[in-house]
């Protein structure tokens, strides 16, 4: 089975008030010191092989899992990563909250590294306002060519993942009308969004070199495609999902992503071409998924026409069923997806709490409780 791992970004919020807590650097430094004393080599490593790292803003922390082949191991690591991040945050009077965007109208504070300062100088408000939390899934590939073949074949399914993980309806103190406004804000970046079919690893790398030569991007880390070859690991990285408040949702999304990569690699090995869908259509599909989540029609990934969200999700599950069955993940994934369709996404939950409590801080505090429940 292919190995896979996840990166979860979290907001840091005050335990009592839900206000932003700019303690990310302190949290990671303290955890790293503790790990060093325990023989961890200077990295903040929890059980199950998680590492805590800073993100672009001091109001964030990221939990990075080790790679696993068994979904139950990844699920355990994901939950322990959240628990460890929360334990470290509590030392500073904070908690983690798995929210795709912060509902509160507070500007964040930049982590002061040379790279982030250079990004702020070049991209201005796009960086200063960026307080968003994503869920990134890494899946192992056997070669760059297999990785690019997978990128070419999973691209039509990514909008459905946006819809299923949507968890960011509020921005700067207002209801945006979107289920995943994080995806809209993320599209500010020059390379963010869907890509055309590459056809080969050479074509992928040629495009990356062309983009880097234009003196817009600072480095390869700013290749922000919806899915990309990792510059660090022998993986492809799927970047479109919001961080999920419910850990069960995150586990199901990760399992679907691995299954998508496995099906894509199999199709490539069998000589099946990728679906010839232009990037313009995928932009429309991603916009609609970001706007409505699962609460309206989605652009069907095979028909390229608006259809009820349940049909698009059913098409996704049918497509990945062979891979999910092979890994033994089918039952768990289908059960969780049914629950999402029945009960709503994280965005639905946030709006329900807001309609009841009438205070955005209650939305934040509810998410903080549920993140590590």
Q: pLDDT of 286-335, one tens digit each?
A: 999 999 999 999 999 999 999 999 999 999 999 999 999 999 999 999 99
Which tokens go with 32? 């790293």
Name, in order, each residue with C-beta under 8 angstroms of 359's C-beta and a sequence gap of 6 or more. none
Domain hosting 24: range is 4-371
**Residue indicated by tokens 């507070």:** 106
Which tokens go with 63? 């939990």
Q: How far is CA 206 from CA 213, 218, 235, 277, in A?
A: 11, 17, 19, 21
Q: How far is CA 160 from CA 181, 220, 248, 280, in A?
A: 15, 27, 17, 16
**By the 8 A CB rule, do 154 and 261 touch?**
yes
Q: What is the CATH number of the domain that holds 363?
A: 3.30.590.20
pLDDT at 195: 98
Q: How far is CA 322 from CA 17, 201, 253, in A?
A: 47, 26, 16
pLDDT at 43: 41
Cα separation, 154 vs 148, whole angstroms:
10
**Torsion sign, CA atoms 40, 45, 46, 49:** negative
Which tokens go with 220? 């390869």
Q: How far is CA 174 from CA 109, 168, 239, 294, 295, in A?
A: 20, 11, 25, 21, 20
Which tokens go with 370? 């549920």
**Residue indicated by tokens 């079919």:** 197
Q: How many domains does the chain have?
A: 1
**By the 8 A CB rule, do 168 and 180 touch?**
yes
pLDDT at 31: 86
**Residue indicated by tokens 């069907």:** 300
H or E element that contains 138: strand 135-140
Which tokens go with 202? 């050479």
Cα separation, 344 vs 340, whole angstroms:
5
**Torsion sign, CA atoms 309, 304, 179, 87:** positive
**Residue 181 class from Cβ within 10 Å (0-12 exposed, 13-18 middle, 19+ buried)?**
buried
pTM, full prediction? 0.95
Cα separation, 281 vs 273, whole angstroms:
18
Name, in order, each residue with C-beta under 8 angstroms of 31's C-beta and a sequence gap of 6 or more. 44, 52, 84, 88
Q: Report how many helices (DSSP H) and strands (DSSP E) the chain contains, helices first.
A: 14, 12
**Torsion sign, CA atoms 27, 33, 35, 38:** negative
pLDDT at 34: 72
Which residue stretches of the chain have pLDDT < 50? 38-47
Give residue-wise pLDDT tens across range 146-177.
999 999 999 999 999 999 999 999 999 999 99
């Amino acid at each position: 089975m292919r190995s896979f791992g996840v990166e979860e970004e979290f907001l840091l919020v005050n335990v009592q008030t839900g206000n932003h807590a700019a303690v990310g650097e302190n949290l990671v430094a303290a955890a790293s010191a503790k790990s060093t004393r325990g023989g961890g080599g200077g990295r903040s490593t929890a059980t199950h092989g998680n590492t805590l790292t800073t993100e672009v803003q001091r109001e964030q922390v990221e939990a990075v899992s080790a790679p696993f082949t068994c979904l139950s191991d990844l699920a355990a690591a994901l939950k322990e990563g959240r628990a460890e991040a929360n334990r470290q945050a509590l030392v500073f009077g904070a908690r983690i909250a798995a929210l795709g965007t912060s509902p509160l109208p507070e500007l964040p504070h930049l982590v002061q590294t040379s790279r982030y300062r250079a990004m702020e100088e070049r991209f201005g408000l796009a960086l200063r306002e960026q307080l968003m939390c994503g869920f990134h899934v890494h899946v192992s590939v056997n070669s760059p060519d297999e990785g690019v073949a997978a990128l070419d074949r999973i691209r039509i399914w990514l909008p459905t993942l946006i819809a299923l993980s949507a968890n960011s309806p509020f921005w700067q103190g207002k209801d945006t009308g979107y289920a995943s406004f994080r995806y809209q804000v993320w599209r500010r970046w020059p390379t963010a969004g869907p890509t055309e079919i590459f056809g080969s690893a050479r074509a992928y790398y040629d495009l990356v070199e062309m983009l880097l030569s234009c003196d817009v991007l600072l480095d390869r880390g700013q290749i922000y495609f919806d899915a990309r070859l990792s510059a660090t690991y022998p993986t492809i990285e799927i970047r479109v999902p919001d961080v999920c408040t419910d850990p069960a949702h995150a586990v199901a999304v990760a399992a679907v992503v691995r299954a998508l990569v496995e099906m894509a690699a199999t199709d490539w090995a069998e000589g099946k071409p990728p679906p010839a869908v232009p990037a313009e259509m995928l932009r429309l599909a991603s916009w609609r998924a970001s706007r409505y989540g699962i609460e309206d029609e989605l652009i069907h990934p095979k028909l390229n026409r608006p259809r009820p969200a349940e049909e698009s999700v059913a098409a996704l599950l049918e497509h990945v069923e062979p891979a999910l069955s092979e890994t033994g993940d089918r039952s768990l994934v289908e059960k969780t997806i049914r629950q999402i369709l029945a009960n709503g996404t994280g965005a639905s939950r946030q709006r329900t709490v807001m309609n009841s409590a009438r205070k955005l801080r209650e939305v934040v505090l509810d998410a903080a409780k549920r993140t590590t429940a």
